């Protein structure tokens, strides 16, 4: 028994338990912003780690680098994130204030008064005028149309801000409430609304209205106007607030999409933990060294340990305990504090660049690409699987009726036999008329007639409907002479051949749903006959037809022919109802409509009692053209090694034909159609399919499956339902599907789409992408690693739950092959470089430990350490990660094979990470030992010794120059911004030294107590010596020569790699034809189809099952042969 919400009309006291109409989308209040934001930021492990280190540094005598070297960089990172969050929250607060202060017209003390939206309460009587937005979810009581028509009790609503659909929708007022047109009608009336509890189902509403006389009236979604929609072409409506504020369906649908984490982010988190583990290991080793050194040196260095007794174990252990934390603080920055803030800043700018790309701008709809989740930019460069809807995604979703089948004959819509009214002279004239009447009356289309006069007879009628198919059918019927004129709540009118008008009483309408896959309308014609018209998918319509219907076999053939040419098909049928039969059914139907428990199921159950023994009227074939550039996009994505699946609700023949049209299927490809109605039959057929694929994949059954270039799998929703109900079939389907080059799943429901995506996502080592344009694609989009919505004719439902949105499928090519690939490489380099640059400098601290008795003394000044990430190394890498392009956009589009680097994770994996760390170790050794050996016994010209901290300045200078040069070597595209930031990062170091030294000198004069041995103003003099610059030059050359040589070698001598060949020739305006002669010699690794691996979960169980099934299928394979495959 579901819970019931009871709203008392115009009774504030009894509705006080409901929430107000004020909305709040902000995350913070002024008083809790700082603590709450910090609490959220400290959910990130790296921030907690650096805060722990900062707290350790505050303990006197523990930190070798002062008290602020961790706290200051951490504070800057936290502050940057805090400013970003505050900016976003302020914008939300401004938006909330504007919304809450809009004006609503509410009944107060017998008159309608203007109040802000936030003052509206549940149960209030509200008037909404033309062009105004609804302040809450309102039950319509009465309607005042623009033009008063007898019996018309409907209004027009636009829901573009709610679901993106720009077509007008009809909303109706019940006849019992239509008399409530003035404030006096509501005075002292005891009425209540009982409905479902607040929920997020935009298109569902169940409830009853109890009038003052006790009469109950059924309420449906047609009686509700939702917050976020606007009143159009209607003077005003009067209604009652049912849901307010956060209870409205609009607000219930504003929840955030599920949090998704990119592959690189997951690996980065593991790298942070690994580096922490290595750091703790090094600290432990150094701490052991400290205790050994102390025990050996204590008797000799009595002046260092004046209070310790000889061989004092307690003293040694205490020193080791203290030394552990001292060394830990010293090596804290092996984990880069600026890593995550650099990644976030980079992705934000990358997202902005994607949104501003004019090559992904659709001029016709004035729509740009939109980045709704920057966190997944790099995943766009690693996609293995694309799951695509068909209608509106691959096709235009602009329907045209091309073929009709009537009375066993097929007609083109432009056939002279039926155009211009010529169908009246055919022998099938009665059947054609009945068919056209069905098309004109069985729908939810709203005609809108323009107020502008036309010069000729041309009509300016605009049809609105949530279904483009319905508009196509109504337009086709009009073209053939049966025009739908208008419809009220109780009447529909059609004009026949511009000669006379037929009026029908509209008795009942059984709406279309994705579960029913059909729609029915019951009407009474002028002769008093009650007629049921039904249209729907052939799979559900044929079981409802009377077996004695004429021309069933020929119509089936026509449907197959329509589907094979790529047309969308519908079956139309009718039945004349007996008056008594209808009245009995109508009573049951009204009870189902007024039920508050399982209303939907009851309505569907009752509908089946009338939708039976139908007589076939005909069938339709509707064309939905491919979008521009779809075939080229799919071709290039396949060259990139991406596996593409099409998940559609269309019939199999239509889906297959579209597959050929868009080059998803090739002429040489063999189709594997899964057949069977039972578990055994489907299992047998899948096993047979697996056996057919054995030659190309059987040898790799144990680990990975190479996709065959010869097979495509086709399966429908009924078979998928069987597959998902048995684990054995799931495993079989997985192994068959990942071996096929293409997969088409037809007649699948929205839930099945999501289940298919999750099946691959959870069982195959891959990155998945789902793309669609309709509300039925939302689950699929949210289930994939990356979800892309297309802003098409089916509204913005898919866009609102997506991570990225584009206007056309063809833009997916550049989004993945260019922006995705660039983002993957850039973010990969950023993460690797952040670890590298910190290792280069802070490992010099590690090497110094071996020369200072493991004491943890720092060779670098504490403020130099603090400024390393803030001033000298933080900005250049962000610039690199935003602007660098290893290949041009043109080359990336021209050679989709380059995408393999992301798909195979070539830029960011454990091997690459270790190579960068090894390189950083080498560079840190050079940066430490060359200056140390050069200056260890040196003096200033005035005779003053060059101490360790002065040598540290040389090491620091070398590190800054080396890491900047390393970044310059990695840079492929140079702009003035690169030159500026790279140059500034180097130039700022001596400038900083000068000002830091001058400030220190000034402070020392004012506070003579400062020890002169720590005078930085004396140490920075080292940069004015020739020896300093010779050492720095030697270090930079030694560190960079290997990297320079390696880059030169792979670019100009590794030309068997397509990537390096394209890089070396791209500035010469090359095309594929220019290097066609090189293609036979290119390493086929780039050209090879993707290798897909099943996840290891319960793999042994699966393998044993498959081997048993495959061999049992052949029957003749011996156990000896079986052992050969082990």
> Which helix (DSSP H) or strand (DSSP E) does residue 831 occupy?
helix 821-849
Q: What is the largest CA-CA distance in the chain?
A: 123
pLDDT value of residue 1008: 47
Distances (CA, A) of 646 to 448, 457, 654: 36, 44, 12
CB 470 within 8 A of CB 492: no
Provide the 3-class DSSP secondary structure of residue 196: strand
Residues β-bridged to residue 263:
none
Residue 814 marked in a binding site: no
959 phi and psi angles, rounded to 5 deg:
-65, -45
pLDDT value of residue 451: 52
Contacts for 1015-1022: CB closer than 8 Å, 24+ residues apart: 1016/861, 1018/944, 1019/947, 1019/949, 1019/950, 1019/953, 1020/953, 1020/993, 1020/994, 1020/996, 1021/940, 1022/935, 1022/940, 1022/946, 1022/950, 1022/953, 1022/954
User: Which string of DSSP letters, residue by residue, matches 55-107?
Assistant: HHHTSTTT-TT-SSTTHHHHHHHHHHHHHHHHHHHHHHHHHHHHHHTSEEEEE
Residues 6+ apart with CB under 8 A from 308: 298, 315
Helical ranges in 572-704 per DSSP H: 579-594, 599-610, 630-639, 652-661, 679-692, 694-697
Residue 618 marked in a binding site: no
pLDDT value of residue 535: 94
Q: How far apart are CA 446 and CA 695, in angstroms?
A: 57
Residue 1120 marked in a binding site: no
Residue 389 marked in a binding site: yes
pLDDT value of residue 256: 60
Given CATH 3.40.50.1000, say whether it is the number of domain 356-394+631-815: yes
Given CATH 3.40.1110.10, say whether it is the number of domain 396-623: yes
Residue 650 marked in a binding site: yes
- Tabulate helix, strand, coil % of the chain (nearest 5): 50, 20, 30
State which residues of the chain have pLDDT below 70.
Answer: 1-2, 147-152, 160, 163-167, 254-258, 298-312, 450-459, 466, 514, 596, 695-709, 792-795, 997-1018, 1051-1126
Residue 773 marked in a binding site: yes
Residue 102 marked in a binding site: no
pLDDT value of residue 991: 87
Residue 268 marked in a binding site: no
Residue 649 marked in a binding site: yes
Residue 266 marked in a binding site: no
* DSSP 8-state class, residue 642: -
CA 277 from centre of chain: 34
Distances (CA, A) of 1084 to 894, 1057, 1090: 17, 8, 12
Q: How far apart are CA 400 and CA 398, in angstroms?
A: 7
**How many other C-beta atoms are found inside a 10 Å radius of the C-beta of residue 408?**
17
Catalytic residue numbers?
389
Provide the 3-class DSSP secondary structure of residue 739: coil
pLDDT, tens only, 743-779: 999 888 888 898 999 999 999 888 999 998 877 788 8
Contacts for 1048-1054: CB closer than 8 Å, 24+ residues apart: none
Q: How many angstroms separate the first and last alpha carbons of the chain?
A: 56
Residue 512 marked in a binding site: yes
Sign of torsion, CA 792 796 802 804?
Answer: positive
CB 378 within 8 A of CB 366: no
Q: How far apart are CA 197 and CA 872, in angstroms?
A: 58
pLDDT, tens only, 388-441: 988 778 887 778 899 999 998 999 999 988 888 889 888 888 999 999 999 999
The tokens for 607 are: 């509908």
DSSP E strand stretches across 466-594: 482-487, 491-496, 500-510, 518-524, 530-536, 568-577
Nearest Cα neighbor of 1066 from 932, 967, 955, 973 is 973
Residues β-bridged to residue 506:
523
Burial class (CB in 10 A: 0-12, 13-18, 19+), 547: exposed
pLDDT value of residue 700: 44
Percent of the chain whose pLDDT exceeds 90: 32
Q: How far apart are CA 646 and CA 736, in angstroms?
A: 16
Residue 753 marked in a binding site: yes
Residue 470 marked in a binding site: yes
DSSP E strand stretches across 824-881: none
Assign domain 4-21+120-252 one CATH number from 1.10.10.10, 2.70.150.10, 3.20.20.60, 3.30.70.1230: 2.70.150.10
Distances (CA, A) of 316 to 288, 292, 312: 10, 9, 6
Residue 568 marked in a binding site: yes
**What's the pTM?**
0.78
- Domain range summary for the chain, segments of one domain joined by +: 4-21+120-252, 339-351+817-1035, 356-394+631-815, 396-623
Provide the 3-class DSSP secondary structure of residue 785: coil
Residue 67 marked in a binding site: no
């Amino acid at each position: 028994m579901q819970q019931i919400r009871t709203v008392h009309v115009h009774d504030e006291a009894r509705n006080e338990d409901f929430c107000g109409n004020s909305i709040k989308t902000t995350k913070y209040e002024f008083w809790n912003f700082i603590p709450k934001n910090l609490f959220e930021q400290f959910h990130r492990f790296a921030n907690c780690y650096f805060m722990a280190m900062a707290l350790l540094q505050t303990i006197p005598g523990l930190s070798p680098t002062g008290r602020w070297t961790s706290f200051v960089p951490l504070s800057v990172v936290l502050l940057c994130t805090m400013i970003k969050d505050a900016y976003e929250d302020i914008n939300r607060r401004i938006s909330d204030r504007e919304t809450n202060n809009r004006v609503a017209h509410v009944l107060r003390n017998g008159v309608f008064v203007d109040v802000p939206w936030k003052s509206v309460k549940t149960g209030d009587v509200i008037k909404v005028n033309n062009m105004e937005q609804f302040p809450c979810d309102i039950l319509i009581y009465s309607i005042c149309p623009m033009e008063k028509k007898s019996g018309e009790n409907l209004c027009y609503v636009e829901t573009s801000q709610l679901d993106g659909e720009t077509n007008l929708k009809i909303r109706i007022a019940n006849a019992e409430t239509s008399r409530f047109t003035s404030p006096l009608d509501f005075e002292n009336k005891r009425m209540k609304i009982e409905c479902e509890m607040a929920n997020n189902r935009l298109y569902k509403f169940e409830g009853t209205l109890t009038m003052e006389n006790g009469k109950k009236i059924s309420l449906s979604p047609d009686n509700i106007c939702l917050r976020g929609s606007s009143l159009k072409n209607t003077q005003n409506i009067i209604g009652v607030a049912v849901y307010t504020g956060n209870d409205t369906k609009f607000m219930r649908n504003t929840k955030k999409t599920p949090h998704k984490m990119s592959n690189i982010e997951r690996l980065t988190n593991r790298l942070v933990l690994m580096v922490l583990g290595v750091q703790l290991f090094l600290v432990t080793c150094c701490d052991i060294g400290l205790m050994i050194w102390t025990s050996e040196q204590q008797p000799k260095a009595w002046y260092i340990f004046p209070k310790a007794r000889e061989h004092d174990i307690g003293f040694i252990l205490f020193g080791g305990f203290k030394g552990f934390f001292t060394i830990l603080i010293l090596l804290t920055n092996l984990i880069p504090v600026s890593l995550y803030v650099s990644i976030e800043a980079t992705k934000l700018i990358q997202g902005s660049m994607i949104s501003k790309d004019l090559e992904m701008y659709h001029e016709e709809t004035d729509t740009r690409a939109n980045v709704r989740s920057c966190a997944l930019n790099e995943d766009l460069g690693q996609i293995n699987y694309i799951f695509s809807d068909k209608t509106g995604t691959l096709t235009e979703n602009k329907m045209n009726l091309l073929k009709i089948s009537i009375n066993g004959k097929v007609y083109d819509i432009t056939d002279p036999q039926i155009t211009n009214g010529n169908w009246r002279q055919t022998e099938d004239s009665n059947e054609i008329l009945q068919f056209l009447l069905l098309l004109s009356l069985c729908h939810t289309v709203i005609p809108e007639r323009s107020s502008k006069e036309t010069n000729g007879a041309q009509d300016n009628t605009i049809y609105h409907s949530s279904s483009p198919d319905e508009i196509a059918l109504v337009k086709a019927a009009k073209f053939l002479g049966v025009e739908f004129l208008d419809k009220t709540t109780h009447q529909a009118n059609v004009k026949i051949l511009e000669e006379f008008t037929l009026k029908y009483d509209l008795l009942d309408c059984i709406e279309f749903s994705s579960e029913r896959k059909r729609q029915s309308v019951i009407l009474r014609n002028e002769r008093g006959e009650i007629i049921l018209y039904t249209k729907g998918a052939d799979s559900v319509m044929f079981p409802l037809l009377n077996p004695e219907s004429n021309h069933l076999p020929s119509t089936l053939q026509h449907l197959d022919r329509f589907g094979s040419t790529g047309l969308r098909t519908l079956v139309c049928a009718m039945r004349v109802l007996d008056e008594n039969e209808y009245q009995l059914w109508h009573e049951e139907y009204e009870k189902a409509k007024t039920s508050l428990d399982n209303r939907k199921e009851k309505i569907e159950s009752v509908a089946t009692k009338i939708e039976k023994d139908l007589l076939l009227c005909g069938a339709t074939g509707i064309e939905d053209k491919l979008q521009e550039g779809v075939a080229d996009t799919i071709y290039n994505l396949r060259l990139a090694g991406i596996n593409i699946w099409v998940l559609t609700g269309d019939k199999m023949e239509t889906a297959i034909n579209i597959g050929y049209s868009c080059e998803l299927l090739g002429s040489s490809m063999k189709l594997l159609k899964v057949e069977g109605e039972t578990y055994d039959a489907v299992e047998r057929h899948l096993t047979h399919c697996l056996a057919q694929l054995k030659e190309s994949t059987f040898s790799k059954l144990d680990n990975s499956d190479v996709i065959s270039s010869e097979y495509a799998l086709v399966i429908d929703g009924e078979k998928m339902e069987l597959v998902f109900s048995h684990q054995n079939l799931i495993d079989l389907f997985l192994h068959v599907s990942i071996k096929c080059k293409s997969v088409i799943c037809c007649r699948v429901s929205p839930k099945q789409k999501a289940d298919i995506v999750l099946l691959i996502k959870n069982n195959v080592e891959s990155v998945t992408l789902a793309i669609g344009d309709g509300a039925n694609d939302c689950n699929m989009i949210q289930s994939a690693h990356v979800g892309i919505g297309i802003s098409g004719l089916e509204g913005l439902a898919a866009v609102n739950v997506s991570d990225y949105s584009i206007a056309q499928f063809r833009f997916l090519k550049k989004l993945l092959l260019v922006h995705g690939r660039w983002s993957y490489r850039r973010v990969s380099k950023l993460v690797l470089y952040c670890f590298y640059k910190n290792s280069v400098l802070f490992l010099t601290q590690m090497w110094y430990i071996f020369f200072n008795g493991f004491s943890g003394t720092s060779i670098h000044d504490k403020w130099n350490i603090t400024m390393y990430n803030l001033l000298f190394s933080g900005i250049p890498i962000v610039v690199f990660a935003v602007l660098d392009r290893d290949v041009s956009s043109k080359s990336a589009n021209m050679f989709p094979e380059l995408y393999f680097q992301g798909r195979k994770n070539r830029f960011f994996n454990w091997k690459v990470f270790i190579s960068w760390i090894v390189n950083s170790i080498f560079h840190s050794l050079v940066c430490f030992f060359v200056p140390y050996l050069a200056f260890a016994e040196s003096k200033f010209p005035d005779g003053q010794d060059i101490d360790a901290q002065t040598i540290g300045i040389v090491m620091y200078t070398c590190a800054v120059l080396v890491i900047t040069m390393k970044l310059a070597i990695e840079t492929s595209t140079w702009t003035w911004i690169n030159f500026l930031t790279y140059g500034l990062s180097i130039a700022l170091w001596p400038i900083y030294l000068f000002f830091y030294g001058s400030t220190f000198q000034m402070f020392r004069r004012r506070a003579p107590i400062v020890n002169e041995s720590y005078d930085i103003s004396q140490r920075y003099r080292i940069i004015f010596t020739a020896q300093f610059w010779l050492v720095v030059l030697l270090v930079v050359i030694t560190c960079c020569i290997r990297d320079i040589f390696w880059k030169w070698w792979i670019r100009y001598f590794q030309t068997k790699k397509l990537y390096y060949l394209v890089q070396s020739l791209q500035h010469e305006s090359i095309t594929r034809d220019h290097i066609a002669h090189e293609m036979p010699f290119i390493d086929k690794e780039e050209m090879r189809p993707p290798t897909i691996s099943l996840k290891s979960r319960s793999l042994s169980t699966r393998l044993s099952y498959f081997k048993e099934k495959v061999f049992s299928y052949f029957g003749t394979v011996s156990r000896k042969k079986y052992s050969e495959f082990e």
